[in-house]
Structure 1
Amino acid sequence: MDSDASLGECRRARDMVVRSGAVGLAVRMWGGGARCVVLVHGYGTNSLSWLRLVSGLEDDFTVVAYDRRGHGRSSGADSYAIENLAGDVRAVVDGLGLVRPVLVGHSVGAWDALAFAADEPNVAGVLCLDQAIAVDDAAWSTTYRPVCVEERLAQLRADPLLARGYTQAEVDELILDAKRAPGLQPWSAYGPMVRRGIRRGGDGLFWVRPTVGDRLMIERGWATVVAEPYEAISCPVTLALAARNPGPFHDALRRLAVRRKLSAVLLDSDHDIHVERPGDVADLVRTLG
């Protein structure tokens, strides 16, 4: 059980499952304000990565986060194409009857939010955390080149964390090791996320999610992002960039902000801006909602 209350950072969530076609999306809801915000996490994490941000928003907003397909407590899928991921955002928004939500996407979760906003006028704004769709930049094809299936499958199967299932005792030890490892972000933010990302399989063992098979399909799905959606988006889009996460694609995001005339903010953070700078991110949400 994921115990938010024990962290003293946000109230206990209301949990539910929303259907997106054949996929069951595990959804968590906090607060009860008239304004609403939907949080879309990145690759390999889950909805509990947002706990620090939730605590700064739940007094003013209805805050909704969900595990993306193949992650956390949501079911896996046979497709991770961008239209399916945007459809998952729609399933959550429509299923909960949310009106003019602010969408916050971290890392590749920003793609889901942008793709949904391009097809839906009922959005107050989109906040992209250290990622956005920049397919018109030359750096995109270098960063998100098509996956060589055999090579990538071999790499994933060689990952010691993903290669096998774990007993309950081994899971407990993995979590303990992660908790005391140096250099980690605060355990209060990542500990619950780690627990939610481990799921018992049909063999009785616990497996880290996304699984090898889901990771391969998720990465292949990146190739379905083929166009920048900004001309079709009618709401404001803000791009928050992490100052301590430099590199060629980060430069591409800077160029994107200029080229597409997006509001851009540079924050002193690593990639996980919502964990390191939750107050700043909450302030940005309020400017949109």
Structure 2
Amino acid sequence: MQLTVSGLPVFIYTGGQSFAPAQPVVVLLHGAAHDHSVWNFQARHLARHGFSVLAPDLPGHGRSGGAPLASIEALADWLATLLDAAGVRRAAIAGHSMGSLVALQAAAQFPDRITQLILLGSVAPMPVAAPLLSAAHDDRAVAHAMINQWSYTFASQLGASAVPGISLMGLNRRLMERQGDSVLAIDLGACNAYENGLAAAAAVRCPTLLLCADRDQMTPRRAVKPLHEALAGVADGARMISIPRAGHAMLAEAPDAVGNAIRSFLTRR
């Protein structure tokens, strides 16, 4: 599906089903130098279980036009505009890594529009290692290698995959290579500069789920504690679920576990 948002084309994957705004809507936000395709498994799963899915390519990513937005706050504003363009008043929102910061900021900034919040591979603040920031500016191939090494478990690095015949690291490297030259550097810079995460978390009031991969090297579970504690105002407290045998790339390494956890949270009463 393609929409025009702020005068620019935005590509949105809907999980293989026609978008129906009258159904419960869930927005899926990708991370740095990625696009909607990282959510393919979960988008199809949710679309076949009664949800209308919006998995957009963020501005300047994938098949969406424009330049990448340079701050998390700007991306949260853009998300509200996207909902307007899709004719959606209220939606659940899930974000992975950089996308989780956008989701967090949007939930705090637009509390009447976000019904449920799901943060995957998220910490606040989300500092980016200086060597990775430097490589993102000066040598993308080196940056991609760093990201792959830190995002995937040892088993995946040896070739294990939830989908037989697919190299997860090769797929991720090619996905990052397809983005524009400056996309990764801009995205990582936005994550590194975002200082409002804990204040935003303190303002969140909708039901919230934290999904933490037990072998995540980029946003390890021990580093999630400040964010979890800052979400104290959420009714019944923010729930935290560990995804076993997965790293930061949990969407690819544990697609079923992630999809089931999201659907269970969205449908709980």
Question: TM-score normalised to the size of structure 1?
Answer: 0.69
Instruction: Give 2:249's match in structure 1, choosing from 263, 272, 275.
Output: 272
Matches of 1:148 and 1:266, distance apart in 2: 26
| 1:240 corresponds to 2:240 | no
AA of the residue aligned to 2:242? L
| 1:123 corresponds to 2:114 | yes
Matches of 1:66 and 1:100, distance apart in 2: 16
Matches of 1:216 and 1:153, distance apart in 2: 6
Matches of 2:57 and 2:85, distance apart in 1: 15
Match of 1:263 in 2: 239
Instruction: Give 1:219's match in structure 2, choosing from 184, 188, 211.
Output: 188
Pair member with larger Rg? 1
Higher share of residues assigned helix: 2
| 1:17 corresponds to 2:17 | no
Match of 2:267 in 1: 286
AA of the residue aligned to 1:123? I
**Structure 1 residues 92, 25: closer, same or farther in 2, change over 3 A?**
same
**Structure 1 residues 110, 147: closer, same or farther in 2, change over 3 A?**
same
Matches of 1:188 and 1:281, distance apart in 2: 26
Report deviation, 1:208.
Answer: 2.7
Report deviation, 1:146.
Answer: 6.7
Verify the 8 A CA contact 1:17 1:25 in the aligned structure 2: yes
Report deviation, 1:62.
Answer: 0.9
Match of 1:144 in 2: 128
Match of 2:36 in 1: 47
Instruction: Give 2:140's match in structure 1, choosing from 146, 149, 156.
Output: 156
**Structure 1 residues 72, 23: closer, same or farther in 2, change over 3 A?**
same
Verify the 8 A CA contact 1:245 1:269 in the aligned structure 2: no
**Structure 1 residues 264, 78: closer, same or farther in 2, change over 3 A?**
closer
Gaps of 5+ in 1: 1-14, 162-180, 199-206
Question: TM-score normalised to the size of structure 2?
Answer: 0.74
% of aligned pairs identical?
Answer: 19
Matches of 2:79 and 2:119, distance apart in 1: 15
Verify the 8 A CA contact 1:147 1:220 in the aligned structure 2: no
Matches of 1:248 and 1:123, distance apart in 2: 24
AA of the residue aligned to 1:18? T
AA of the residue aligned to 1:127? I
Report deviation, 1:264.
Answer: 1.2
| 1:103 corresponds to 2:93 | yes
Question: How many equivalent residue pairs?
Answer: 237
For residues 102-147 of structure 1, the C-alpha deviation after alignment (integer angstroms, 9 at most, x for no partner) is 1011121111111111111211110011214x12xxxx5xx33678
Match of 2:80 in 1: 90
AA of the residue aligned to 1:182? G
**Structure 1 residues 147, 70: closer, same or farther in 2, change over 3 A?**
farther
**Structure 1 residues 248, 95: closer, same or farther in 2, change over 3 A?**
closer
Report deviation, 1:214.
Answer: 1.9
Match of 1:182 in 2: 159
SS at 2:114 equivalent: coil
SS at 1:65 equivalent: strand
SS at 2:159 equivalent: coil
Match of 2:148 in 1: none
Match of 2:177 in 1: 208
AA of the residue aligned to 1:97? G
Verify the 8 A CA contact 1:52 1:189 in the aligned structure 2: no
**Structure 1 residues 188, 233: closer, same or farther in 2, change over 3 A?**
farther
